[in-house]
A = this chain, B = another copy of it.
Amino acid sequence: MNLAFATLPCPVAPPTLLGPTLVPIGVTIRRAPGEEIFAEGEPVDTVYQVMSGTVRTYRLLGDGRRHVCDFHAPGDLLGLEAVDEYCCSAEGMTDVILHAIPLKALRRLTTEDPLLGQRLLSIATGGMQRSQNHASMLARLGAVERVAAFLVDFARRFDADDELDLPMTRQDIADYLGLTIHTVSRTLSQLQDQGLIDARTSRRVRLRRQDQLLGLCA
Are A218's CB and B120's CB within 8 A?
no
A212 to chain B, nearest CB (A): 14
Type the 1/0 row for A65-80, where 1 means its CB is closer than 8 Å to any CB of B: 1110100000000001
Residues A2-19 near B (CB distance < 8 A): 2, 4, 6
A24 at the interface (CB under 8 A from B): no
A117 to chain B, nearest CB (A): 4
Within the assembled complex, what's the spacing in Å between the Cα atoms of A62 and B69? 24
A159 at the interface (CB under 8 A from B): no
Number of copies: 2
Kindly name the residue among A122, A138, A139, A178 whose own CB sees the greatest number of chain B CB atoms within 10 A.
A139
Decide: A121 near B128, CB < 8 A? Known: A136-B61, A140-B67, A218-B62. no
A178 to chain B, nearest CB (A): 3
Kindly name the residue among A63, A66, A110, A178 whose own CB sees the greatest number of chain B CB atoms within 10 A.
A178
Are A178's CB and B138's CB within 8 A?
yes
A33 at the interface (CB under 8 A from B): no
Q: Enumerate chain B residues within 8 angstroms of A177, measured Cβ to Cβ.
A: 139
A132 at the interface (CB under 8 A from B): yes
Q: Enumerate chain B residues within 8 angstroms of A62, measured Cβ to Cβ.
A: 218
Are A218's CB and B138's CB within 8 A?
no
Determine the residue in chain B with the shortest Cβ distance to A145.
B61
A127 at the interface (CB under 8 A from B): yes
Are B134's CB and A61's CB within 8 A?
no
12 contacts between A and B (CB under 8 A): A2-B87, A63-B218, A65-B140, A67-B139, A69-B132, A82-B122, A87-B132, A117-B118, A124-B128, A131-B131, A138-B139, A139-B177
Given contacts A6-B82, A131-B131, 13 further A-B contacts (CB under 8 A): A59-B132, A59-B136, A65-B140, A67-B135, A69-B136, A80-B125, A82-B128, A110-B118, A117-B117, A127-B128, A128-B131, A134-B135, A135-B135
